[in-house]
Each structure stands twice: as structure tokens, then as C-alpha cells.
Amino acid sequence: DVKVTQSSRYLVKRTGEKVFLECVQDMDHENMFWYRQDPGLGLRLIYFSYDVKMKEKGDIPEGYSVSREKKERFSLILESASTNQTSMYLCASSPTIGEKLFFGSGTQLSVL
């Protein structure tokens, strides 16, 4: 059974902290994505990666960075967390263009 695993289900951080959100997939997928989900706004793409060490900005990359050192792992980094980054963060992967996305169960991040 395919699996996308996000390391934390709930996370509470303080303003200004550096935050790491980890995502691992076991399907050997080329493409990985980070979305944030906010009520009434749906899912918005933060960053995606189509190969190891390759990344592209999505619609809302400001305040975020990513790292993909290995194919199976895609990390989202909040350099200096702010309260407006309180949100649900969803990681996803897909094998190729046009194929469905496989999602992790999400990390609910609260920045106080």
C-alpha cells in the first residue's frame, strides 16, 4: 500500500522559531509537493520538487524553503515562524505528469 508519511500530526511553535516539517514517501515517486490548507482558501502550493535537489516555487513561497537531498524525503522549512503561518500543511507525491497525487495526513501547525 502506498504511503506518504508526515512526521508530526500536530505541532506548536513560537514566533521566530525555525520549523522543520518532514515528509517521506515509499513509492519511488519523482515529484513531491507541499501545500497549505486554510478554510475557504482550499489548497495552495508552496513548493514542489520534480527530482532530487530540484525545486520550484509554487504560489506562496514567501517565508518558506525546502530541501530534497534524497528522493523519498521532502522537507519544508519555516525560517522564522510567524503567526500567519498557522495552518494545515499537506505533503503529496506523484509518479509523473497527469497522475494523481498521494497525500499525507497533514501537519496542523500552530505558531504562537
In the complex, which residues of this chain contact other proteins (CB under 8 A)? 4, 31, 33, 35, 40-45, 48, 50, 56, 58, 90, 92, 94, 97-98, 100-101, 103-106
Minimum CB–partner distance for residue 60 and other proteins (Å): 12
CB-based burial, 75-91: b 16+ in 10 Å, e otherwise: bbebeebeeebbbebbb
User: Which lies closer to other proteins via its Cβ, residue 58 or residue 63?
Assistant: 58
> Which grid cell is 24?
517521506
Element (H, E) at 102: strand 102-103
Least distance from other proteins to the Cβ atom of residue 96, Å? 8
Report in angstroms how near the CB of residue 36 gets to other proteins at its nearest.
11
Cα distance between residue 47 and residue 44, in whole Å: 9
